[in-house]
Amino acid sequence: MAGGAGSRLDMGEKPLVKVLGKPMLQYVAEAFIDAGCDILVITSHLVPMTKNWCRAMGYDFYNASGTGYVEDLFECIRETSPEGPVFSCVSDLPGITADIISEVFETYQLKEKPALSVWVPEEYFIEAGCTPSYVEDVESCPACPVGLNIIDASMAGDAQDEYRFLFRKPELAYNVNCKKDFESFLKFIEKDRFGQ
């Protein structure tokens, strides 16, 4: 999902903001490709450079109306008619990896519900210095959604029974919505990269 204006970050088109020389969207796209997924980037009129970047990279994209995250997702599903389970992921989750995606999908298959949302403990956001969008109790733990979900495409637009997956992966707390989040992720990835 790469169609939002990214006004809170205020660094241009958010999907193209670079982390260690690579756009955040590329981290997400490569993780899904490495996990064996076909990808379709959902864009809008708000991100013309992101559409150009997708063309240059050879990534398929769907130009949605830009109404909102959920609305654009369902619009894309209606127009493209995918089958089976469909991942949706925000473009500003640069800590995602193929292993994370594979584990999420394995959990989805085990739970046998049409939908799954991924949450991490609120304490990870606090430790990361990032700002959560909201907090709910998941498995008796204050937790925050990370913007990684699976839905049954055949039921798009309908209420779907959802499994809320509490995933203890600190790197998923870095959902980059503002400059503070961006700076926190830079510190995290530099520390991880150099083993500090």
Q: Each residue's pLDDT tens digit in the chain (196 positions)?
A: 887 766 666 678 889 988 888 999 999 999 999 999 999 999 999 999 999 999 999 999 999 999 988 899 999 999 998 888 999 999 989 899 999 999 999 999 999 899 999 999 999 998 888 878 889 999 999 999 999 999 999 887 777 899 999 999 999 988 877 788 778 888 887 765 434 4
How many structural domains is the chain composed of? 1
User: What is the DSSP code string of 89-126?
Assistant: E-S--TT--HHHHHHHHHHHHHHT-SEEEEEEEHHHHH
Lookup: tokens for 154: 């055949």
Q: Tell me if 121 is assigned to some domain.
A: yes
Residue with tokens 């997400």: 28
- Cβ count near 181 (within 10 Å): 21
Q: What is the CATH number of the domain that holds 168?
A: 3.90.550.10
Judge whether 100 lies within some domain: yes
Could you tell me if residue 4 is inside a domain?
no
Q: Which residues contact residue 164 at a Cβ distance below 8 angstroms, ignoring those fewer than 6 apart? A: 116, 117, 119, 138, 139, 143
The predicted pLDDT at position 141 comes to 96
**Residue 133 maps to a domain:** yes
pTM: 0.90
Q: Which residue has the tokens 């493209």?
A: 80
- Whether 27 is in a domain gets the answer yes
- For residue 9, the model assigns a pLDDT of 65
How far apart CA 131 and CA 144 sit, in angstroms, is 10
CA–CA dist 174, 146 (Å, integer): 8
- Residue 6: its pLDDT value, please? 65
What end-to-end distance do the CA atoms of the chain give, in Å?
Answer: 32
Q: Is residue 8 part of a domain?
A: no
Task: Give start and end residues of each alpha helix (H) in 36-178.
Answer: 48-57, 69-80, 98-111, 122-128
Q: Please give the Cα distance from 186 to 192 (Å, whole number).
A: 10
Q: Which distant-in-sequence residues (6+ apart) come within 8 Å of 112 by Cβ?
A: none
What is the predicted pLDDT for the residue at 159? 79
Residue 2 lies in a domain: no
- Residue among 105, 112, 58, 66 nearest 86 (CA): 105
pLDDT of residue 196: 40
Name the residue range of residue 73's domain: 14-194
The pLDDT, as a whole number, for residue 64 is 94
Domain-located, residue 62? yes
